[in-house]
Amino acid sequence: MRRTADAWLNRYRPVRAPRLRLVCFPHAGGAAGVFRRWTEELPPDVELVAVQYPGRQERFDEPCVEDMTTLADRITDALTSVLDRPVALFGHSMGAAVAYEVTRRLEARRLARPVHLFVSGAVSPLEPRQRRDLHLRDDDGMVEGLTELGGMDEAVLADAELLRLVLPCVRADLRLIETYRPAHLPSLATPVTAYTGTADAHVPREGAAAWRDLTSAEFNLRVFPGGHFYLIGQEPEVVGDVCTRLALR
C-alpha cells in the first residue's frame, strides 16, 4: 500500500512530458476512478491526475479526512511533485470546494498559479447551502438523500455488504463538505469556469454563477443537460468543453 505523496495521485495514462496536467477531484464518496474514462477524451499530450482521497479503493485501510483544512493541505503538499508542468484543476460537487481550497493554497504559497479552475455541480462557498444534514441522518436516510441526487452506484446499493463497507467513507465526506464554512474567501488570480446541470435543484444557475465573485480573472458559466451528476455519460461533451477553454484543441 502506498504511503507517500503518490498515494494521493492516480495517473491512468502517464505522459512522459505533458503539455499540461489536469488534476481532478471526486465528489463526496467518490474515488479517483470516476475520472478514468476522461483519459480517452483528452489529447495524448495532456496527463490526467485523479486525486484519491483516503478511505477508498487502494486506500481503503486509511482513515478518511473529515475536515477541509487538513484535506486541502495534504493534497497541496502532494501536488508539489507534479508542478513542473502547467496544471488545471477540475472538481465535482465536494471536489469543487476541495479544488478551490487547493487552488488558493497553490497561489498563497506561490507554488503555482493554475491555468484554470473548473468547479462543477457546486454552489459558490459564498452562497448558503440548501442541505447540511445528510451526515447526521441514519444510514437509510443518508442513502435516500444521496439516491435523490443520483450519487449512489446501483451496484453498491444492490450489495448490502459492500454498502456497509462504503457508508463510513461517504458519511465522512459528507461531514467534511456539510460543515465547510470558510471564514475567509480570498479572490483567486486563476480563471474559473463553473458547470451545472439544467435539472440540478441543489445547484441552481445563480448559485453556480456566484463563483464569479471568487476570482479576479476571467469567469465563465456553462449549463449542461441533466441533474447533479450530469457529467456521467456526457464525458466527451464535458471534457471537450474543458479542452476548448484550455486551448488544447
Active site residues: 93
Residue 167: partners with Cβ closer than 8 Å, 6 or more residues away: 139, 142, 143
The sign one gets for the Cα dihedral 74, 78, 83, 88 is negative
CA atoms within 13 A on the CB side of 121: 25
Q: In three state form, how does the secondary structure of 187-227 look?
A: CECCCEEEEEECCCCCCCHHHHHHHHHHECCCEEEEEECCC
Contact 193, 218 (CB under 8 A): no
Residue 41 in grid coordinates: 477524451
